[in-house]
Structure 1
Amino acid sequence: MRPQSTGPAPERYHLTLTADGRPAMHGWWGSKTIARRKFTSWVGEYGSARGARVTLIDEGTDTVLADWPDGP
């Protein structure tokens, strides 16, 4: 879980990796461009793991931006 802050959070884009339904990694970025690059990188690095799922969420709008496999 991300620590709470008293001001606006610059880390708007949340990336998660789960394997067989269990959390494996996560990270937050303030830049959508960097978060999308990380998404692509994580799919390449960890996508072959059994039951892997990589999800990128815009926490500012609570929108899934990318979901692998089978995502936008």
Structure 2
Amino acid sequence: MLGDVHAGRYHLILALAGRPVLHGWWGSEQVARAQFTGLVGRYGQPGARVTLVDEETGTLLTEWPEPG
């Protein structure tokens, strides 16, 4: 594998029907949050879940849909 695909503190995950289908890592929280918004806009449908995690602290920063 070329390079470190996990370079970046902020990990964005898209899961469809409970299965992770897309991952991304960014060093900037601002950029990661913009990507989060884009994924919700494109894939925001029943059965989809988008999460943004700070890998350094293990903190869930945001998720869609929001827990109800």
RMSD over aligned Cα, in angstroms? 1.8
1:67 paired with 2:63, answer yes
TM-score by length of 2: 0.85
Which segments of structure 1 move beyond 3 Å, counting only runs of 4 or more? Answer: none
1:57 paired with 2:56, answer no
TM-score by length of 1: 0.80
Identity %: 55
Cα offsets for 1:3-62 (capped at 9, x unmatched): 76xxxx7500000000010111010000000000000000001112x4100000000110
**Secondary structure of the residue that 2:66 maps to in structure 1?**
coil
Determine the C-alpha separation between the residues in 2 that align with 1:26 and 1:47: 16
**Secondary structure of the residue that 2:42 maps to in structure 1?**
helix
Determine the C-alpha separation between the residues in 2 that align with 1:36 and 1:53: 15
1:43 paired with 2:40, answer yes
Give the aligned residue type for 1:55: T
Aligned residues: 64
What stretches of structure 2 of length at least 5 have no aligned partner? none
